[in-house]
Amino acid sequence: MEFLVNLKFEEYLENLSIEEDPIVLEMEKYAEKKDFPIIGREGGRLLYLLTKLKNPRLVVEIGSGFGYSAYWFAKGLKKGKVVLTDYQEKNINLAKEFFTKAKLLDKAEFRIGDAIEIGQEYKNIDILFLDLEKAKYMEAIKTLEKNLSPDGMVIADNVLFQGKVLFEPENKKAKILNQFNKYMFENYFSVILPIRDGILVAVKKS
């Protein structure tokens, strides 16, 4: 991955983000060992903060992996739930194990299958989190935006795609992500934060 932030700043931020939650540390260790892409600790802290501020009743993740991002959502929830989706049963089963250890099962729903199809089953989504195959971002938002609550929030990871949206715009996935980013800025009030691989946060225009 090309670093979008100076490595010294990355190191500085990591040193500030001291983490004592053993589940977070275990998940990060697993991700590093398996070379499994996750939103990272700074991204996770952002999800937790946005969850605390918004107090959502329903968070739907479109692409959950083994549950790292969902865990940060669940930690921040008061009475709501987060729906995890992944097409691989082994990932969902591992997520269940982590949530069981953390005693957060009551805040989660685990689904196996096509994430976009599953997402259509949920209405009044307060936070829609996109972290699926990058080529499907446009399909995901156009299919699921009608299911957002009136003040629903969209969060999408990897929207800068290792810098390829700027430096390799003809790359197939980069081209789709550029279309997605343009769509989100034209139709939502959006911002892209240069955390790791770029995190987009958006709400419907009032």
pLDDT for residue 19 is more than 60: yes
pLDDT of residue 14: 75
Within 35-163, residue ranges assigned H as helices are 40-54, 68-76, 89-101, 115-119, 137-144
**Closest by alpha carbon to 114, among 141, 98, 133?**
133
Domain boundaries of the chain, sorted by first residue = 7-204
Q: What is the mean pLDDT of residues 194-201?
A: 92
User: 58-62 and 125-130: which strand pairing?
Assistant: parallel
pLDDT of residue 205: 87
What does DSSP assign to residue 90? H
- Please identify, in words, the CATH class of the domain defined by 7-204: alpha beta
pLDDT category of residue 4 using cuts at 50, 70 and 90 = low
pLDDT of residue 1: 45
| Lookup: tokens for 42 | 């700074």
* 40-51 pLDDT per residue, tens: 999 999 999 999
* 110-150 pLDDT per residue, tens: 999 999 999 999 999 999 999 999 999 999 999 999 999 99
Name the pTM for this structure. 0.94
| Lookup: tokens for 63 | 């692409």
pLDDT of residue 9: 77
The CA distance from 49 to 43, in Å, is 10
* 75-109 pLDDT per residue, tens: 999 999 999 999 999 999 999 999 999 999 999 99
Instruction: List, in sequence order, every residue forming a beta bridge with 92; answer none if it has no partner.
Output: none
CB of 99 closer than 8 Å to CB of 26:
no
190 contact partners, CB below 8 Å, separation of at least 6: 181, 184, 200, 201, 202
CB of 145 closer than 8 Å to CB of 169:
no
69 contact partners, CB below 8 Å, separation of at least 6: 38, 39, 43, 44, 47, 61, 129, 131, 157
Give me the half-sphere count of Cα atoms (radius 13 Å) on the Cβ side of residue 171.
16
Question: Distances from the Cα of 111 to the Cαs of 21, 84, 95, 124, 205, in angstroms?
Answer: 25, 6, 11, 18, 30
43 contact partners, CB below 8 Å, separation of at least 6: 69, 157, 195, 196, 199
